[in-house]
Amino acid sequence: MKKQIEFGGPINNVLLLMSHFVLLLLIYALLRVGFLWYNQSLFSNVEFSEIGLMLIGGVKFDIVALLYINLLYILMQCLPLAIKYTDGYQKVASWVFIFTNSVGIGSNLIDFAYYPFTLKRTTGTVFSQFANEDNIVGLFLDFFLLYWPLVIVFFILVYFLYFFDRRLVLLKPNKVNWQFYITHLATLLFVAFLFVGGVRGGWAHSTRPITLSNAGDYVKSPEEISIVLNTPFSILKTLKAVDLKEVNVFTEDELGHIYPVFHYPQDSIEFKTYNVVFLIMESFAKEYVGFYNKDLESGTYKGYTPFLDSLIAESYSFKHSFANGRKSIDALPSIITGIPSIGEPFVLSIYSSNKTTSIADLLGEEGYETAFFHGAPNGSMGFSAFTNLAGIKRYYGKTEYNNDADFDGIWGIWDEPFMQFMGDKLNELSEPFFASFFSLSSHHPFKVPTEYEGQFSKGPLPVHEPIGYTDHALREFFAKASKSSWYKNTLFVICADHSSVSYLSEYKTTANSYAIPIVFYFPGDNERLRGMSDKLIQQIDIMPTVLNFLGYNKPYFSLGFDAFSSAKNNFVVNNTTGVYNFFKGDYFMTHNGDEALSLFNIRRDPLETDNIVKKSPEVIDSLEVSLKAFIQQYNNRMIHNKLTVD
């Protein structure tokens, strides 16, 4: 017979809960160390002496997460009821404890693998993000196969929970009388008192419930916040939609001068009805593109996109180009409507019903046919709903493709056949047209069609081989499109939806974790649109840049800048876990909305080794003017639904 540890006395239920809680805190501490070890290449600047503070700080966030996760179990063990001492009741309570904490442990382990793709802990938007996926089981099975060591760790930890729980029992009281109920009611109130203080982070009236940003107290740079946090806390604290606060730092006149968001046509410009095609490439990080990295690895670096390299040589591109988010769901609003995700994906926010200014809508009003192509099931990622709201009239997905022989088994139709399908459909559209495509094959689980196995460089990262395959699909699409009558009358914009996992140290920086290619290719007049610019550009700049190129002759609203303009007052902004990443001129600043956290001169210090935040107050002051103007324009216009020209 297995020996069991018994707790007796009038507070035996409290001792039982405390024992479980201490065990869970130890497990979460181990998971935090494991998270850091598993992703150590992304935290190369973390010194050993700093880990202790992170572990201590992490306890505060672990307590909050564990209290919420175990709320039902705590209640079951503290109710002043005699039935809780029966074997059946305790078995149910035991399984509640094991199941709920298995979910918490599993979510932490999933982020071991998922973090390199998003550079932040998973948030509450994950449920909405995958709500329309009809192959969730397949995705989980594929995760189990690809990350089987993490699955083994999961089962070991869950078994340890079970093993420990089975050896803790409650002693039955000698008798149930009025003293029993008084004692247990007092215990319930005491535990409730501890619970409230635990989830708030203290009992003082001035104490505000802790949030993700509080993790900044235990790190020296924003990207390290994810070490201190745990995934259940991150999810639970972001289940409630982000509610922006109105900001009034500047007057309307000052704001319009510092950061104008209304774009007006030039009288001398004639509107040219060129076709426009956006090609949004899944996970095509700038790191993977050889054209931009010719000096890396002593000049031997080739990258994984030979066709895109050749196309960029005939295009207009940028040395400093960035995404406005780290997820696919962030990309479409940024590119199509010029709305970046701040705090949470725009399409999942409470402001997603705002009327926006979409390039598809604007061109549609000028007689353009509009279409969107994505080889996934039509509800995937909410793209069909978004494109409908953005004024795109034709949607082509897996349903319209109607041939599951080319289904990759996970996400949708392989890129090459789907891009050929797109070429056929573009031939059917009346000119002028606006079309956008979103690729999917260069995505986890990082596979290529069987017939192409071994044909593309695998590289040191699993993503490299499918990047090569999708680059090949892009080559075949342009080979087909170049034979069409509309080809030379078309402006192509090629960009990534977001960056992805990094291998090169030059891209393992906060700034370059958002680096993507943004390319403008116009085959009808290569000399006019060719070269490499030193100007900053981001995804939300694509719409005003394209409209400027077309000579669009009506005023419109956009948070982005015209990248073809000679003006140099533009900036780039994105947001990670509530921290703003702000680029302007030679500088890159991280800012929490109240104060600057770091500052780097990324022209001189691209590896971000010299934080000059305390040495350059005048630079901080200058950058803060533009950042605060952006925050005021963004927040106030979101709140008051003013994202169009009145």
- Which residues neighbour 640 within 8 Å (Cβ) at sequence distance 6 or greater? none
For the chain, what is the mean pLDDT?
A: 89
pLDDT of residue 322: 97
Q: Residue 438: helix, strand or coil by DSSP?
A: strand
Report CA torsion sign: 41, 44, 50, 54. Answer: negative
Q: How many Cβ atoms sit within 10 Å of the Cβ of residue 116?
A: 18
Radius of gyration of the chain from Cα atoms?
Answer: 27
Residues of the chain with pLDDT > 90, as a percent, come to 65
How much is the pLDDT for 213? 67
pLDDT interval class at 577 (50, 70, 90):
confident
The mean-pLDDT minimum among 236-240, 553-557, 594-598 falls in 236-240
Region 3-30: what's the mean pLDDT? Answer: 73
pLDDT band at 2 (very low <50, low <70, confident <90, very high): very low
For residue 131, the 8-state DSSP code is T
Residue 70 pLDDT greater than 50, yes or no: yes
Higher pLDDT, 249 or 524: 249
State the pLDDT at residue 205.
42
Question: Does the pLDDT of residue 440 top 50, yes or no?
Answer: yes
pLDDT over threshold 50, residue 168: yes
Q: Considering only 192-201, 299-308, 553-562, 600-609, which range has the smallest mean pLDDT?
A: 192-201
CA 463, 465, 466: angle at the middle one, nearest 5? 70
Q: Quick check: 207 pLDDT over 70?
A: no
Q: Which of 168, 154, 42 is nearest to 108 (CA)?
A: 154
Residue 527 banded pLDDT, cuts 50, 70, 90: low
What is the pLDDT, as a whole number, of residue 89?
87
CA 54/CA 49 separation, integer angstroms: 10
Please name the residues in contact with 539: beta carbons below 8 A apart, sequence gap of 6 or more: 322, 323, 324, 331, 334, 335, 340, 495, 516, 518, 560
Strands 275-281 vs 433-438: parallel, antiparallel or unpaired: parallel
Q: Residue 79: name the closest of 180, 210, 199 by CA.
A: 180
Residue type, 56: I
Query: pLDDT at residue 406 above 70?
Result: yes
pLDDT tens digit string along 247-301?
Answer: 999 999 999 999 999 999 877 778 999 999 999 999 999 999 999 999 999 999 9
Which of 277-281, 523-527, 629-633 has the lowest average pLDDT? Answer: 523-527
Residue 589: closest CA among 532, 540, 628, 563 = 628
- Can you tell me the distance from the alpha carbon of 624 to that of 618, in angstroms, rounded to the nearest whole number? 10
Rounded mean pLDDT, 536-542: 98
Q: Which domains occur in the chain, in start order?
A: 5-237 (no CATH), 252-504+513-639 (3.40.720.10)
Token pair listed for 456: 């593309």
Residue pair 367/361 in contact by the 8 Å Cβ criterion: no
Mean pLDDT of 302-311: 97
Residue 206, pLDDT > 60, answer no
Q: Determine what percent of the chain is predicted with pLDDT higher than 70.
A: 94
Pairing of strands 5-7, 168-170: parallel
pLDDT reading at 204 higher than 60: no
Dump pLDDT digits (tens) for 481-516: 999 999 999 999 999 999 999 999 999 999 999 999
DSSP class of residue 379 equals T
For residue 170, give the nearest of 2, 8, 1 by alpha carbon: 8
What does the pLDDT read at residue 216?
74
